[in-house]
Structure 1
Amino acid sequence: MCMMRAYNGVTDNFASATREFNTRKFHWTDAKSKKPTRPEDPHQYLSGFGNELESEFIAGALPIGQNSPQICPYGLYAEQLTGSSFAASRANMARSFLYRRRPAAVHTSLERIEGNTTFTASFLPSDDSLHVVPSQLSWRAFQIPDKSGPEVDFTQGIRTLGGSGHPNIREGIAYHIYAFNSSMKNKAFANIDGDFLICAQEGHLNITTEFGHMYLQPSELCVIQRGIRFNVAIVEEHSPNGARGYIIETWGTKWELPELGPLGGYGLANSRDFLHPTASIDTTSTGSWTIITKQVDKYYASYQDHSPFDVVAWHGTFVPYKYDLTKFAYQNSVAVDHTDPSINTVLTAKSRDPDAPLCDFLVFGPRWDVAENTFRPPYFHRNCASEFLAKIYGPTGGGRSEVFVPGGASYEAGHTPHGNADQRTMGAMHMELKPMRVGENSLTIMLESCRSLMFTNWAVKDSGVLAAEDIPLAAWDLVPDRFGKDEEAQKLLRARSCAM
């Protein structure tokens, strides 16, 4: 069992690096920090992906040598939370014991409430409200509700773009965006269908869970597993326009670190850079709390007269976590040829097919390109995987089209021919191949899935930011038929034809 230490302290160098980040020039190694988080983050964390962890807010609250004493320390109640079956293998066992003032069972009965009409969970082909898109889509920046208008919190600010499968059969995935302008007030949310991977694009979030706090800001992600209650608050100081980002919901699987193979023991997303909250009981809130439970695409509510975040201590393996994408250790070609995007995988979620993941979560940020005697940009391709890209920050362009902007997204269905046909990319055929920086001052995430998505009405009709699908004819002028004008090639063709 690993009891990790919490960290304190920040250096002037780190504060300076953060100022640079705010102008979109940042790399974690420039920070020279003595703590694993950026200076805005006020919380303490435990480190290590997949560890057995423990935390206590006051000394002695965590029972020693057993999970459920006849009487728990300080009169607390023991409560087990599981994320896997009781008979799962040790490697896949996900369970935690929480020691709290009141058990979660102390609440009113559940009642159906008005939900979020743009939240979708069923992506079965028989649903005629869904749309098959066998080609490409692009969205400009998704709109954040104006702060001068009605209050929209996290639970109401989720908009489903598309997905595949159904949570009831524990099989599939959904892609959502979130855009909201206010904090959840005396309200907790629990998704009992699957795990939420939340990636922030604009605005800072203070997320309270039953295990403690996590602070999330642009270019960071967090994973909140199935059934865990949480609250999302906007940090107003750093969120003048509200908050926006992306949610990947997975059913019947869990996020894991990809195997490193010949890379050895380190690289890509390192285990020690994943941070888990520490126990932190809520002693300040008053009044009634609403607990919203999402099942499929319906919302249900129960009520209680005390905070659901009353956990004084916990231990286990089923714990939320966060990760700073600027810590990713890129690997790349130093000889010839562009590497496949899988080399940029942060996390992977397996499917029932051992050779085709349900989803790979990838990141593209500032890095060096030094490949020699080769076409450095991504080659034209028709992958079996579907690709969903979202720009966290950086200049316009570089994705599906020139409308690819921070806060928007693009999508290519599996086997859709694509590649960047622009002056910059095609000019790479004739450029002098010196070492060069790519992805400077930008960060983009990509989701690769063995599934092709089915899209919602909101995604293809009602979002108000869907861009035209038409491919500019000028793109064809940038990729002409050079073979047809090559004299030697045509001479050889004529000779071959005469010989037949």
Structure 2
Amino acid sequence: MSELTYLSGFGSELSSEDQRCPGALPKDQNSPQKCPYGLYAEQLSGSAFTAPRAENRRSWLYRIRPSAGHKPFRRFLSEAEVTHDWTEQEPDPNQMRWNPFDLPPTDHKVDFIQGLKTVCGAGDPKTKHGLAVHIYACNHSMLNRAFYNADGDFLIVPQVGTLAIKTEFGKLEVSPNEICVLQQGMRFSVEVRSASRGYILEVFGRHFTLPDLGPIGANGLANPRDFLAPTAWYEFTDNISYQIISKYQGQLFICDQNHSPFDVVAWHGNYVPYKYELSKFMVINSVSFDHCDPSIFTVLTCQSEKPGTAIADFVIFPPRWSVQEHTFRPPYYHRNCMSEFMGLILGEYEAKKGGFLPGGATLHSIMTPHGPDKNCFEYGTNEELKPTRVAEGTQAFMFESGLGLAVTKWGAKTCEKLDPEYFRCWKGLESHFTGPK
């Protein structure tokens, strides 16, 4: 595993060169007439050339061969069920809960790309607006195979198993309770040591950023210094069969080339893959009365053109001290103009103990009511309001979006994990109304 570099801030300039080739980074020019070591200069642009400087994202890669050296793409037919056709199923406003998604059987080899399944989403990658939620479940490494997403960014949330991710920029190892972001166009390959499962939030056309802190001030939530980028690492291969898989306009394509795509000897720029450990999140929440909204737990956001409204927020509910007065401590009953997709990495979610399992998910659609089950309500109503440690040994998260999420055929039927009894967790909520005295 190569070393990691601290991201001092999103959009900050970074650089790295493989230690085996000192001086591989050109000194004064991005694209000199002749690069050191006979390398090729190639720019990877994550924004329009003319994007405002504060939003402009690009990196220069100094590689052994240009990435253009491959045979034509063709459709990739595999076990992956990736789609952006949001009309496969009739709209369904009901509360939804999925039991844990299956891991592949031990006698069947499935790599990361073959194990991709789309659960829900909205929008269109062709118009660069929208998102998709996927599940991955795999038990085999990607051998001589790389993938890139032409449609958007992947935010990967491992739930079971560690992912050893090889990228053009270097290597990342990502374990449960960590996340990584592989931005649009970046080529990567995933190795696994055992059966692995997790969640993916994909956003089209825009990138994840840290949320503004507003009245919180300069410090808190996810700090830029805790995000890590890989250092340069390369492999030099000749006359080896390598497959490149592309996700383009919601479909998968494949091409062949005779060398490794991971031949970047040096790079510099501000458009890089990165990882973050969720335990480093700085929780802020002490309530004298009322209740803070879950947006106080936002790690990363992808904002729409409407201020304060996200295409997608990545929100976590980590172990924390809960200090409250005169307040119903659990999550409040709620109807929302946003869509809320929740997953559970480990432990028991505080508002649905025993009913929401690691590796499963829930979806509460726009204006569909939801909230604590009966047991959680009864306990939260009668508990002593002293400082309490909540969510210990637990890590739940939410993908929240201002867009209406449509469930795919795989999510609604094929996976056979949708729980038709979910609605019953609210049936025991009886009236406690006492009337006027």
TM-score of the aligned structures, taking structure 1 as reference length: 0.84
Q: What secondary structure, in the 3-state scheme, does the structure 2 residue paired with 1:471 have? A: helix
Q: Deviations over 1:341-368 (max 9, x none)?
A: 0000000001122231111100111100
- Partners of 2:406 and 2:351 lie apart in 1 by 21
Task: Determine which of 71, 84, 101 is the counterpart of 2:47.
Answer: 84
CA separation of 1:369/1:400 partners in 2, compared to 1, >3 Å: closer, same or farther? closer
Matched with 1:302 is 255
Structure 1 counterpart of 2:16? 55
Using the alignment, how far apart are the partners of 2:253 and 2:414 within structure 1?
A: 25
Asked if structure 2 preserves the Cα contact closer than 8 Å seen for 1:337 and 1:376, the reply is: no
Q: For 1:159 and 1:168, locate their aligned partners in 2 and report how far apart those are by CA, in whole Å.
A: 20
What does residue 156 of structure 1 align with?
114
Structure-to-structure mapping, 1:322-401, within 5 angstroms: 322-395=275-348, 398=350
When residues 378 and 113 of structure 1 are mapped into structure 2, their CA distance, relative to the original with a 3 A threshold, is closer
Partner of 2:423, secondary structure, is coil
Q: 3-state DSSP class of the match of 2:215?
A: helix
Return the match for 2:72 from 87, 109, 112.
109
1:168 deviates by: 1.0
Deviation, structure 1 residue 400: 6.1
Cα pair distance change 1:470/1:301, threshold 3 Å: closer
Q: Which residue of 2 aligns with 1:449?
A: 401
Give the corresponding residue for 2:143.
Answer: 185
Aligned to 2:431: 481
1:256, 1:348 within 8 Å by CA — same for their partners in 2? yes
Instruction: Write out per-residue CA displacement over residues 45-101 of structure 1, whole angstroms, 9 at most, x where no aligned residue.
Output: 333331111111132100012101110011111001101111100111011110011
Amino acid aligned to 1:430: N
Taking the aligned partners of 1:283 and 1:135, their CA distance within structure 2 comes to 53
| Pairing of 1:134-145 with structure 2 (within 5 A) | 134-145=93-104
Question: Which residue identity does 1:227 align to in structure 2?
Answer: G
Q: Which runs of 5+ in 2 are unaligned?
A: none
Contact in 1 for aligned 2:80/2:116 (Cα 8 Å): no
1:266 to 219, 227, 241: 219
Matches within 5 A, 1:140-219: 140-147=99-106, 149-219=107-177
Deviation at 1:107, TM superposition (A): 1.5
Give the drift of 1:430. 2.2
Partner Cα separation in structure 1 for residue 138 and residue 427 of structure 2: 40
More strand per residue: 2
Q: Does 1:438 align with 2:398?
A: no
Q: Equivalent residue for 1:12?
A: none
Checking the alignment, whether the CA contact within 8 Å between 2:238 and 2:258 is kept in structure 1 is: no
- Equivalent residue letter for 2:431: D
Shift of 1:433: 1.2
Taking a change above 3 Å as real, the CA distance of residues 48 and 293 of structure 1, as seen in their structure-2 partners, is same
Task: Give the whole-Å Cα distance in 1 for the aligned partners of 2:239 and 2:165.
Answer: 18
CA distance in 2, matches of 1:250, 1:145: 26
Equivalent position SS for 1:152: coil
What is the rounded CA distance, in whole Å, between the counterparts of 1:399 and 1:437 in structure 2? Answer: 15
The answer to whether residue 365 in structure 2 is matched with residue 413 in structure 1 is: yes
Higher helix proportion: 1
Q: Please give the alpha-carbon distance, in whole angstroms, between the structure 1 residues aligned to 2:32 and 2:167.
A: 24
In the other structure, the counterpart of 1:72 is: 35
Give 1:440 deviation, angstroms. Answer: 0.7
How far did residue 471 of structure 1 move? 2.4
How far did 1:108 drift? 1.6
- Cα distance per residue 1:240-271 (max 9 Å; x no partner): xx010011111121101000111111100000
The one-character-per-residue Cα deviations of 1:12-45 (angstroms, maximum 9, x if unpaired) are: xxxxxxxxxxxxxxxxxxxxxxxxxxxxx76433
The TM-score normalised by the length of structure 2 is 0.95
Structure 1, unaligned runs of 5 or more: 1-40, 489-500
**What's the offset of the Cα at 1:285?**
8.8
1:205 CA displacement = 0.7
How far apart in 2 are the matches of 1:117 and 1:367? Answer: 38
Percent of aligned positions that are identical: 47
**Cα RMSD after superposing both structures:** 1.8
Contact 2:330 2:376 in 1 (8 A): no
Deviates more, 1:175-184 or 1:445-454: 445-454
In structure 2, how many angstroms separate the alpha carbons of the residues matched to 1:332 and 1:109? 54
Compute the displacement of 1:439 (Å).
0.4
AA aligned opposite 2:164: N
2:386 maps to a residue whose letter is: K
Q: Offset at 1:185? A: 0.2
8 Å contact from structure 1 (residues 158, 179) kept in 2 = yes
The alpha-carbon distance between structure 1 residues 449 and 65, as it changes in their structure 2 partners (threshold 3 A), is: same
| Aligned pair partner of 1:221 in 179, 191, 198 | 179
d(CA) in 2 for partners of 1:151, 1:375: 48
Letter of the structure 2 residue corresponding to residue 480 of structure 1: E
Distance 1:299 1:175 in 2: 16
Please give the secondary structure, in 2, of the residue aligned with 1:215: strand
1:112 alignment partner AA: R
Where does residue 31 of structure 1 map in the other structure? none
Aligned ranges for residues 8-19 of structure 1 at < 5 Å? none
Asked whether the equivalents of residues 400 and 410 of structure 1 are also in contact (C-alpha less than 8 Å), the reply is: no
AA at the equivalent of 2:394: S
SS at match of 2:286: coil
What is the match of residue 375 of structure 2?
423
Q: Does the Cα contact within 8 Å between 1:137 and 1:469 map onto a contact in 2?
A: no
Cα offset, 1:144, TM superposition: 0.7
The number of residues matched between the two structures is 434
User: Displaced runs of 4+ in structure 1, greater than 6 A?
Assistant: none
Equivalent of 1:463 in 397, 400, 415: 415
